[in-house]
Amino acid sequence: MSKVIGRERQIKQLQDVLKSKKSELVVVYGRRRVGKTFLIRETYKKHIVLEVSGIADGSYADQLTNFHNEIGRRSKIFIKRTTPTNWLEGFTLLGEYIDKLKSSKKKVIFIDEFPWMYTQRSNFVQMFGHFWNSYCTKRNDLVVVICGSAASFMVNKIINDRKSLHNRISVAMRLLPFDLYETMVFLKSKKVNLDKYSYLQLYMAIGGIPHYLEKIHQGDSVAVAIDRLCFQKEGMLTNEFNEIFSSLFDESENHTRIIESLASKQKGLNRSDITNKSKVSTGGTLTKVLSELQESGFIQSYQPYSNKVKEVLYRLSDEYSLFYLKFIKNHPGNSWQKLYTSRSYASWSGFAFENLCLKHFPQIMKGLGLSGIGAQCSSWKNKNAQIDLLIDRDDRAINLCEMKFSVNEFSISKSYAGNIKNKKTEFTKHISTPRKNIFVTFVTTYGVKNNQYSDELMDNQITMEHLFEKL
C-alpha cells in the first residue's frame, strides 16, 4: 500500500507509463520540500534499478564520480571500472549497466536534482539527450525520470528544449503544494485531528508543503505547532526563508528583494512598481526573475479585467514567505499566542485568506455550481475602487467576489455595504457591452450573518466548507 497521501492524479500518470510498450521520459519539478522524491520513490519502488542525485554545488568531477559510484553500488562489476571523464562516457556506462539487467519488466532510472548535475561546459544536458535518443528509444522497457527543484532550469532547458529533447517528454509534471483538502487528509493520517478552522490557520501560515506539515505533532494546537516550528530557536522554519531561494536560484538576492517588495503591498504590484521597490533592473533580468518565481510557485500573476499586459499584477502567493516576513523575521523568540492578538494579525490574516481563496479558485467555482461553465479569473481597479477577484463567466455573468476572514459569521456593516455598492457602481461604468449580470459573492470562513445589508447586497456565498472540497 502506498504511503503517499493525496496525489492520486500524479500517481496515475506515473503508473500509466509503466504500462507503455515503449520507453518513456518523465520530468517532475516543483519547489523544495514539496515531496517530489518521496512521490517517485514510493510509486516506483519496485521498479527503480538506479537512483542517483546531483550534488549541490558539486564540481564536474564530483558529479561524474557520484554517478559512477551509484552504478557501482548497484553492480559491483562496475565499481572497478575507471571513473568516466565526461558525460558521454558516463551515459555509455549507464547503458552497459542496463544491458546486464536480466528482467524484462519496466526498469526505472531515477535522476534526482538533475539541475545540480549540470555544470558549465559539461555538456550534461546534450549528452543526456544523446543517451535518450541513441539508447533509450531503441528499447521498450525503460522509464527515465528526471527531477529537480530549480523549476526554471527544468522548464527552459528540458521541457522547452528545441534540440535533442524536443517532443521526447512523455509526462511533464509540476508538483504543487497540497490544497486544503489534501492538507487535512495528510494531517489526519498523522493523527493531527483538528477542526477545519485550525487547518485553515495552519495553511495560512505555512502553506501546503508536506515537509513542513510533517513536523506538526499529534496533540498540537495551532499556537503550539507554530511556536515550535517558527519561533523557537531550533525551529525548522525560523531560518528556512534564507535557505529556500539560495538553494533554488542563481543570484538569489534579486528573487529575495522581489519577494520582500511584494510582501509589503498586499494588493500586488505591477512591473514598474516592482522595479521601483526592489531595485531589480527592468528588462530581461526582471522578466527572468519573475518567471522563475512564478514557475516555482512563490508568486502569481493576475490579468486585470482590462486585459492590458502592462497592468498585470504580481502577488506574493507563498504562505510561508509572507508569514516569515510579517512575523518570524522581526519577532525571534516571540510567541504566536502573543502575536495572534496583535494588530498586525488582522491585516496579515485578511491578505493570507485572500491568497488562499485565489489558490482555491476551482473549489469556489465548484461551490457556486459553475464547474461546467467557462470562466476567467481576473482583478480590476480604478482610482475609486479595487476588486481582487472577478469571475468573468461565459454565460453573460460576472461574480464580484469579496473575501473576508473572520472568527465568526461575517457581519456586513452600513459603511461596508456602502463600499460594496461603490465597487459595483464603479465596475458597472467600466464594463464593456453587451452588459453582463453582476452578482456579489462573499467568500468567508463561517458565512455571512443575515441582516438588512446581506439581504440587499449578497447574491450568493462560499464558506470554508467549500474550500475544503476534494476536486
C-alpha cell belonging to residue 220: 498540537
From first to last of the 471 residues of the chain, give the pLDDT tens digit: 568 888 999 999 999 999 999 999 999 999 989 999 999 999 999 999 999 999 999 999 999 999 999 999 999 999 989 999 999 999 999 999 999 999 889 999 999 999 999 998 999 999 999 999 999 999 999 999 999 999 889 999 999 998 999 899 999 999 999 999 999 999 999 999 999 999 999 999 999 999 999 999 999 999 999 999 999 988 999 999 988 998 888 889 999 999 999 999 888 899 999 999 999 988 889 999 999 999 999 999 988 887 666 678 899 999 999 999 999 998 888 888 888 888 889 889 999 999 999 999 999 999 999 998 999 998 888 889 999 899 999 999 999 999 999 999 999 999 999 999 999 999 988 876 567 899 999 999 999 999 999 999 999 999 999 999 998
Secondary structure letter of residue 156 according to DSSP: I
Distance from C-alpha of 275 to C-alpha of 287, rounded to nearest angstrom: 11
Q: Name which of 25, 329, 351 is nearest 159 in CA terms.
A: 25
368 near 358, Cβ under 8 Å? Answer: no
- Closest Cα partner for 202 from 183, 189, 217? 183
Q: Answer whether 177's CB lies under 8 Å from 208's CB.
A: yes
Of 312, 177, 333, 146, residue with least CA distance to 244: 177
DSSP 67: H
Could you tell me if 42 and 162 are in contact, meaning their C-beta atoms sit under 8 angstroms apart? no
- The answer to whether the beta carbons of residues 438 and 428 sit under 8 Å apart is yes
Question: Dmax over Cα atoms in the chain, in whole Å?
Answer: 83
**Distance of alpha carbon 284 from alpha carbon 72, whole angstroms:** 44
Domains of the chain: 8-174 (3.40.50.300), 177-359 (1.10.10), 366-467 (3.40.1350)
Cis preceding-peptide flag for 332 (omega within 30 of 0): no
Predicted model pTM = 0.93
The amino acid present at 89, given as its one-letter code, is E
Count of alpha carbons within 13 angstroms of residue 53, beta-carbon side: 11
57: which strand partners?
Answer: none
Burial class (CB in 10 A: 0-12, 13-18, 19+), 157: middle
The neighbour count for residue 455, using CB atoms within 10 Å, is: 9
